[in-house]
Copies of this chain bind each other. A is one copy, B any other.
Amino acid sequence: MATPSFSNNKNYFVSLEEALKLSKTIKIPTFEEKLPIENTLHRVLINDIYSKINDPPFNNSSMDGYAVIYSDTITATENEPIELEIIGTLPAGETPNEKLTSGFAIKIMTGAPIPDGADSIIMVEKTKKTNNKVLLYSPSFPNYIRIKGENLSKNELIFKKGTYLTPREIGLLATMGFSEVSVIKQLKISIISTGDELIAPGKELLPGQIYESNSYVLEGLIKEMGHIPIRHNSVSDTIDDLREELDKASNISDLIITSGGVSMGDFDLVRKIMEEEGNILFWRIKIKPGSPPLFGKWNNTPIFGLPGNPVSSHVVFQILINPWLKFITNANGPTPKIVKAKLLENINLKKEYINFSRVIVENTGTEMIAYTTTHQGSGNLHSLTTSNALTILPYNEKGTKDQIIDVLLL
């Protein structure tokens, strides 16, 4: 068997750091799209955002109660309340038209503007109203006034471009007065599974066949990052079929992801066609599982060739494609949740590889623990559904019982 020629290249069997660095040398253009803010969930801001307003826009009350002058109330106690005359009521949304002077109070609702002259609020629970008088049983509080601009100042830089929009960022866009905003247009990402043994779920399984599943996993992962997956039918192991599908994909998408066919074997056609007709930037990475991926270009479209094993394909998406997509879109999210946990068992490590074992991470109440469940074969997608995290055990590190390690929550 002929050894694949790329294996003599310096970018063969690289570290994860090198792979990430190399992948960032291939870029694609991104485009702008203006959307109503309610349609921007999990999208990425293309511009810096400066607040259109002060938040709050005016001094207002954080309590239901009375706007008063602090010096009037300072001696008030349970036994010796102070009496003030009520000269008006301010619901939220109205503007004050009277100036408050000593000896008077204005009834005020949460969110209503502070009338001129008032410098503090007494909450309604500390008062008693009779006709147009109110008794105060404690001094008033200046702290119950929310000061204009205390949260946001007008023209302040609030979100840098690249901000990933979760519900709370979208809420703050609304607070700042934006009804629509420019985000990065979603990338179209083709997914092509390869292998003669693959058939679509729902069909009858013949001897030697398995159901194709990787394209469904990748489709979901792409959606979760806010982009548009284009799932192709799986391609059988002939160079002509593969070429045709890659050409089709490169015409309709910004990125191609293949699964399967990237190992050493004669039938590893993705690797083979990329060597002979495409452009490979790197091949194989020192990670376990998932060492065979390649990255390069087909007809000027970037292409990640993922291994066919379902666990490997999922892991490589998370640690290689996810960061690349965020780099391309300049996005600061979704943020990987990497936390510390105590390993409850020894994990067999392959030296010189970063080890991503599937584990269950639990908060016991007193500490965070991590342990494995089923066997760790990379063909075992079940092991991934019964786990909620991946270990991140670096090169040459041991995975020993009671060690505190980093885990990536899934």
Residues of A within 8 A of B (CB): 1, 37-38, 41, 53, 55-58, 62, 64, 91-95, 109-113, 124-125, 129, 146, 150-152, 158-159, 166-180, 195-198, 200-202, 205, 207-214, 216-221, 223-224, 231, 236-237, 263-268, 308, 310, 314, 335, 337-340, 363, 367-368, 374-375, 377, 379-385, 388, 406, 409-410
Contacts and interface: CB of A to CB of B under 8 A. Distances in A.
A42 to B, nearest CB: 9
Contacts of A363: 338-340, 406
A340 B368 contact: yes
B410 A168 contact: yes
A377 B314 contact: no
A41 B221 CA distance: 10
B91 A380 contact: no
Number of copies of this kind of chain in the complex: 2
Contact of A41 (B64, B208, B213, B223): B223
B217 A168 contact: yes
Contacts of A385: 159, 168-169, 172
Given A174-B212, A175-B201, 15 more contacts: A38-B216, A94-B196, A112-B208, A113-B208, A146-B377, A158-B382, A167-B219, A168-B410, A170-B220, A171-B220, A171-B384, A177-B202, A338-B363, A340-B340, A340-B367
Contact of A94 (B125, B208, B268): B208
A357 to B, nearest CB: 15
Contacts of A201: 37, 173-179
A179 B207 contact: no
Contacts of A95: 207-208
A151 B377 contact: yes
Contacts of A56: 210, 379
Given A406-B363, A409-B337, A213 B172 contact: yes
